[in-house]
Amino acid sequence: MLYAIRYILHVLRHTIDLNRRRITSNVQRITLPVLMILLVSCEVPTEVYDNPLDEEAAEEEGIDTPALVFFPDKFEVTAGSSISVQLYALEVTEVAGAHIQLAYDKSLVSVNLINAGDFFSSSSGPVFVYVDDPESGILDIYTSFLGSDSATVSGTGNIATLVLGTTTSGESTISYTDQSELVDRHDNPLELKGLGQGEINAQ
Amino acid sequence: MNSRKFLVHKALFLALPLAIIGQDSRETVAILDFEGRGISQLEAQTLTDRFRTAVGSAGALRLVERQMMQEVLQEQGFQQTGCTSDECAVEVGQLLGVQNMIGGAIGRVGRTFTIDMRMFSVQTGENIRTKNVSYAGAVDGLITEIEILAYEISGLKAPAPLIAKRKAGVPVQPIVQAPRKTRLGAMLRSMFIPGMGQFYSERRFWGYTWLLSELALAGGIYTFGTQWQTSYDSYNSTIELYNNETDPDMIRGYKEKAQGHHADMDAAATQAETLAYAAAAVWAVNVIHALITGPKKDEDGEETSSLSLPVGLAFDPNTRTTMMQLSIPLGR
């Protein structure tokens, strides 16, 4: 008798639960779309134009042209992974060669690979020499244009591509030093108004 | 023999004033107490008295007063309550010297009452007029029916007030009063769906007005919401292209496109927001309108809605008692 009563109660509870779920399910079917309509507002995101190669955006960041910048200039990576960063000349005029000196945090970043970019490329190929001093965290790149049609290049272009390794987690920067310069055909230094900076966040 | 003589004298005595009054051409009639079947004798007698009064008021027949009837019949050893057969009624009529007799019965079956009465000629025993009525309701309502029958059995049409009273009826109120439409019910319905309260109040024009207005605004919100979504997606994809581009001319192009999409997004969001405010305002006004106007008045011009306390008196036919009741109108 007791067992029968318990069985009946169990069935009743199950039935009530089912109905509650059914009712809840139906209510959810009706209310959720209504709530979504009501609650999801038409948000307008803030306009953010921060491509480092965007001259206007660079000026807003305090980097006037002609300038040397990194592309991209922000990295969010896991510690131990590699990142590829390009060194760009931004809106330069009649450049025959460049000496680029980079400073990086040797405790967090290492230089794994350096390749020449296509800004100074020609049929003869660019002159491209680099010296990396991991002890001091300084990288020097020397490159020049050897074009047959002209002696200089102008505009925006990729001077070099670096592959950096992140050794540990942390935040660090990579930047152009004041020793960086662009020269004309006569090896006279050209005015550089802006030097960009790259931010690396390794988690 | 002596009683018969006395009776003759009595009859003459009854007839004389009638003759003196002025040769009233109306037929004379006496009314026997109605037989009660399923109701108490007291109720049957009360209804018979009311019937007599109504016949007298109708004025189509000359009515022998009950008191006079009682005296005559008592002298002759007649008991009205026992006189139910046609023969008895005819004999009574002959004793009273009237031309017509009216007799009948009032019965009750469940909640239904039946009234069967006939007027017949004392001389010929022939039925002059027969009336049968069935009535469902409280005993009180029989009074109206009896009064109407008095006119009808007299060959007259019942007056309009009586007919109207019959139509209105005696409210048979159960313990729980039937729900009536209320302003609160209309307001709650309009809160749920715009216009629903107005439909509930039978104000269809306003119901359609609010409902269609809200639907139109909802349609506008949906349209601008869709436009916003399209612009949002386009903006995001263009920004992605802008961020990954290295060619300065392409960067400029993507930037201009992204700015265009952003402007479209902003405009659509503003429009949707404006329509949302308008929809909220329409909804609020619709709720207030439902509350203020409330349900329409009934045929008698009485407000069908009430903001007063739902307490009143009701007659319970089952217990035949009057009691105070609390009614909670649920609306229809």
Write down the pLDDT at residue A24.
Answer: 45
Contacts of A44 in chain B (CB under 8 A): 262, 265-266, 269
Contacts of B265 in chain A (CB under 8 A): 42, 44
Contacts of A155 in chain B (CB under 8 A): 248
A175 and A98 share a domain? Answer: yes
A112 and A25 share a domain? Answer: no
> Do B53 and B153 form a contact (C-beta atoms < 8 A)?
no
A91 and A173 share a domain? Answer: yes
Whether residue B121 lies inside any domain: the answer is yes
CA Rg value for chain B: 39
A72 and A147 share a domain? Answer: yes
Identify the residue with better confidence: A154 or B81.
Answer: A154
Of the pLDDT bands very low, low, confident and very high (cuts 50, 70, 90), residue A44 is very high
Whether residue A133 lies inside any domain: the answer is yes
Q: Which of A42, A47, A155 sits opposite B228 (nearest CB)?
A: A42
Mean pLDDT over each residue of chain B, to the nearest integer: 82
A9 and A107 share a domain? Answer: no
What's the gap in Å between the CA of B247 and the closest CA on chain A?
Answer: 8
Chain B residues within 8 Å of chain A (Cβ atoms): 224-225, 228, 232, 235, 239, 242-243, 245-246, 248, 251-252, 255, 258-259, 262, 265-266, 268-269, 272-273
- Cα four-point dihedral sign B37, B43, B45, B46: negative
B138 and B214 share a domain? Answer: no
B42 and B157 share a domain? Answer: yes
Domain count for chain B, please give it: 2
Write down the pLDDT at residue B193.
Answer: 95
> Do B75 and B99 form a contact (C-beta atoms < 8 A)?
no
Domain count for chain A, please give it: 2
User: Does residue B18 register a pLDDT over 50?
Assistant: no
- Give residue for tokens 């919100």: B221
Write down the pLDDT at residue B22.
Answer: 47
**A76–B contact, CB cutoff 8 A:** no
Q: Which of B168, B198, B217 is the last residue of a domain?
A: B168
Whether residue B182 lies inside any domain: the answer is no
Write down the pLDDT at residue B173.
Answer: 47
Which is nearest to B55 in space by CA: B45, B46, B65? B65
What's the gap in Å between the CA of A34 and the closest CA on chain B?
Answer: 12
Write down the pLDDT at residue A12.
Answer: 56
A113 and A167 share a domain? Answer: yes
Coil, strand or helix at A113: strand
Identify the residue with better confidence: A34 or B40.
Answer: B40
Identify the residue with better confidence: B330 or A175.
Answer: A175
**A187–B contact, CB cutoff 8 A:** no
Write down the pLDDT at residue A31.
Answer: 40
Number of neighbours of residue B136 by Cβ within 10 angstroms: 13
**Per residue in B202-219, pLDDT tens?**
999 999 999 999 999 999
**A88–B contact, CB cutoff 8 A:** yes
A30 and A62 share a domain? Answer: no
A21 and A83 share a domain? Answer: no
**A34–B contact, CB cutoff 8 A:** no
Would you call A43 and B269 a contact, using CB atoms and an 8 Å cutoff? Answer: yes
Record the tokens describing residue A66, joined without a space: 């002609």
B140 and B215 share a domain? Answer: no
Whether residue A108 lies inside any domain: the answer is yes
> Do A137 and A104 form a contact (C-beta atoms < 8 A)?
yes
> Do A87 and A68 form a contact (C-beta atoms < 8 A)?
yes
Shortest CA distance from A155: residue in chain B: B248
User: Does residue B73 register a pLDDT over 80?
Assistant: no
User: Is the complex ipTM more than 0.90?
Assistant: no
Q: Which residues pair with A142 in a beta bridge?
A: A99, A129
A93 and A14 share a domain? Answer: no
Lowest mean pLDDT among A101-115, A151-165, B302-316: B302-316
B123 and B194 share a domain? Answer: no
Q: Could you tell me the CATH number of the domain that includes residue B49?
A: 3.40.50.10610
Stretch A145-157: mean pLDDT: 88
**Per residue in B183-208, pLDDT tens?**
999 999 999 999 999 999 999 999 99
A132 and A183 share a domain? Answer: yes
CA B19 to chain CA centroid, Å, is 49
A36 and A121 share a domain? Answer: no
Of the pLDDT bands very low, low, confident and very high (cuts 50, 70, 90), residue A4 is low
Whether residue A53 lies inside any domain: the answer is no
Write down the pLDDT at residue B227.
Answer: 96
Lowest mean pLDDT among A35-49, A50-64, B31-45, B202-216: A35-49
Q: Which of B224, B228, B255 sits opposite A54 (nearest CB)?
A: B255
Write down the pLDDT at residue B23.
Answer: 57
Lowest mean pLDDT among A3-12, A16-25, B234-243, B308-317: A16-25
Whether residue A26 lies inside any domain: the answer is yes
A109 and A171 share a domain? Answer: yes
Count helices and strands in chain B by DSSP H and E runs: 10, 8
Would you call B246 and A71 a contact, using CB atoms and an 8 Å cutoff? Answer: yes
List the domain range (segments joined by +) for residue B230: 189-304
List the domain range (segments joined by +) for residue A135: 58-202
Record the tokens describing residue B280, joined without a space: 């909220």
